[in-house]
Amino acid sequence: MKQQEQMGRRRSSLNLPEGFLWGVAAASYQVEGATSADGRGTSIWDTFSETPGAVIHGHTGAVSVDQYHRYPEDVRLMRDAGIGSYRFSIAWPRIQPDGSGAFNSKGFDYYKRLIDELHREGIGAAATLYHWDLPQALEDRGGWPNRDTAHRFRDYAAACFGELGDIVDMWITLNEPWCSSVLGYQVGVHAPGSTDRSAAWAAGHHLLLGHGMATEAYRATGLTAPIGITLNLEMPRPATNRSEDIAAADRAADMHTRFFIDPLLGRPYPQRHFDAYPDAVPPPVEAGDMERIAAPIDFLGLNYYFEPVVAAAPVNADNPEGYREVPSHHERTHMDWPIVPRGLYRHLKWVWAHTDGRFPLYITENGCAVRDELTEDGTRCHDPRRVDYLRQHFRAAFDAIEDGVDLRGYFVWSLIDNFEWAFGYTRRFGVVYADYINQRRVPKDSYYYLREVISGHEEV
Ligand code: FCB
């Protein structure tokens, strides 16, 4: 009976906290195109995607869905779905083509046009300052492993606060600094494509330092829109309840999670992780850095896609941390990511406890890649797997709210199919289908589902 009640339990968005924010998310390099328009400088993703072998089929973001020119249509799509906020990112090379020195007013103009259009339709503007498109000129001077980049980021952020501060409704300093540092400088599958662990740690530190300095600069402006950061933490699930697997899962969270969240809370970096790699150089922390990184924020943004499973493994030179990922029974998306909605519940509860509930939380990204196809007549796209994915994840998030987590909003990744980094255009995450040949946008079933959830007509 109890089980039946549980299974039958359904929630509608009408039960959500007052003011719950429903949004969709995207990032400049993934959707804007127009990479040489109006004085935009070159970013590390332009360079990387033009490097043979770096991105599937040699795809680049040069055109993508051309949101730079077609934003009114995308804003209308958001309006028609009842979306409350658009999380977009500002392309640093549009604002400051060389990453230092002169600012480009035409770059600011684009974001003013976009935000005006959003506001005209009653949609809030959630601006991310850095979603991976570092000006190439800064990479040429050492990129994020170079401390100076943190100072350059502070200056760029301050200029954005000055020009856009009266119209942006919510600021996010960085998107997923784990990806910028580890995928960009250690694994090498993201721009700039380096493979150096010490560089990744230095990059991670300077990203966080840049975040802290930008946050301090923001406070000095007296602006009042909330400011926060978006992290993609990972708390792997131990494969079994054996203590070795529990300990292995805990170690696996050192770089992905503790490195990024603990300094925001005024806690040190996970020394245990650095000790595991004695040949690498720990992050170059200078006096006062950790205090700056811990500059108070107004919320924490979380991107959640899946929860891996980890088991203990023998410690050796190739595996000094002694853990390995193991398979699970979960169905997988087109990214080969397991679909683990309960992991989102666990994740929210873990973050809430780990942060002592000191910041409200937002899910700033969640969604899935599906092999979507248009119907023969080209007017519809049936994506029942995405509808299921979203429904189950919404439910997990609502359960967390019910169990005391202060979750204030949920941004679905993404409004429209786009350039999925090293996967180019081969992975579709949108609730709107992009026909890249003629730039036609076709809402998928998941778009209509999202509209119904937001309006409160569809049960979750
Ligand atoms: C996240 C990124 C976002 C998008 C999704 C699928 O890691 O922040 O840009 O690529 O994954």
Q: What is the position in ligand 1's atom list of the atom closest to the CA of 421?
A: 10
Q: What are phi and psi of 196, to 5 degrees?
A: -145, 110
CA of 96 to the centre of ligand 1 (A): 24
At residue 438, the 3 state secondary structure works out as coil
Smallest CA-to-CA distance from 25 within 54, 67, 56 is with 67
State yes or no: pLDDT of 458 exceeds 90.
no
Average pLDDT of span 382-408: 97
Give, to the nearest 10 degrees, the angle between helix 67-81 and helix 105-120: 20
CB neighbour class for 36 (10 Å; exposed up to 12, middle 13-18, buried from 19): exposed
- Gap between the Cα atoms of 389 and 392, Å rounded: 5
pLDDT band at 395; cut points 50, 70, 90: very high
> What pTM, to 2 d.p., does this model score?
0.97
Q: Give the per-residue pLDDT at 304.
A: 98
Three-point CA angle 368, 370, 375, nearest 5°: 135
For the chain, the farthest-separated pair of C-alpha atoms sits apart, in whole angstroms, at 68
Q: Give the per-residue pLDDT at 18.
A: 80
- Gap between the Cα atoms of 259 and 177, Å rounded: 10
Choose the residue to mutate in 303, 370, 386, 426 for probing ligand 1, maximizing ligand atoms within 8 Å of C-beta. 303
Chain segment 158-190, per-residue pLDDT in tens:
999 999 999 999 999 999 999 999 999 999 999
Question: What is the pairing mode between strands 432-435 and 440-443?
Answer: antiparallel
Provide the token pair at 317: 């030179």
Tell me the percentage of the chain whose pLDDT exceeds 90: 95
- Gap between the Cα atoms of 340 and 327, Å rounded: 13
pLDDT band at 81; cut points 50, 70, 90: very high
- Gap between the Cα atoms of 123 and 120, Å rounded: 8
Active site residues: 176, 365
Within 8 A by CB and 6+ apart from 393, the residues are 304, 341, 344, 366
Q: Is 413 in the pocket of ligand 1 (CB under 6 A)?
A: yes
Q: Are 407 and 397 in contact (CB under 8 A)?
A: yes
Average pLDDT, the chain: 96
Q: What is the position in ligand 1's atom list of the atom closest to the CA of 179?
A: 7
Chain segment 238-271, per-residue pLDDT in tens:
999 999 999 999 999 999 999 999 999 999 999 9
What does the DSSP assignment read for 177-238?
HHIIIIIIIII-SSTT----HHHHHHHHHHHHHHHHHHHHHHHHHT--S-EEEEE----PEE
Answer left, alpha or beta for residue 449, where phi above 0 means left and psi between -120 and 50 means alpha: alpha
Q: Is 175 in the pocket of ligand 1 (CB under 6 A)?
A: yes
Average pLDDT of span 368-382: 98
CA of 421 to the centre of ligand 1 (A): 8
CA of 128 to the centre of ligand 1 (A): 13
pLDDT band at 369; cut points 50, 70, 90: very high
Q: Give the per-residue pLDDT at 14.
A: 61
**CATH class of the domain at 2-455:** alpha beta
Choose the residue to mutate in 24, 365, 418 for probing ligand 1, maximizing ligand atoms within 8 Å of C-beta. 365
- Gap between the Cα atoms of 418 and 131, Å rounded: 14
Smallest CA-to-CA distance from 78 within 384, 460, 451, 373 is with 451
Chain segment 400-454, per-residue pLDDT in tens:
999 999 999 999 999 999 999 999 999 999 999 999 999 999 999 999 999 999 9
Q: Give the per-residue pLDDT at 2.
A: 42
CA of 30 to the centre of ligand 1 (A): 9
Chain segment 332-355, per-residue pLDDT in tens:
999 999 999 999 999 999 999 999
Q: What are phi and psi of 408, to 5 degrees?
A: -100, -15
Provide the token pair at 130: 């850095």
At residue 171, the 3 state secondary structure works out as strand
Q: Are 170 and 226 in contact (CB under 8 A)?
A: yes
Residue ranges of domains in the chain: 2-455
- Gap between the Cα atoms of 196 and 143, Å rounded: 13
Average pLDDT of span 25-53: 98
pLDDT band at 12; cut points 50, 70, 90: low
Q: Give the per-residue pLDDT at 16.
A: 77
412 DSSP 8-state letter: E
Q: Give the per-residue pLDDT at 1.
A: 36
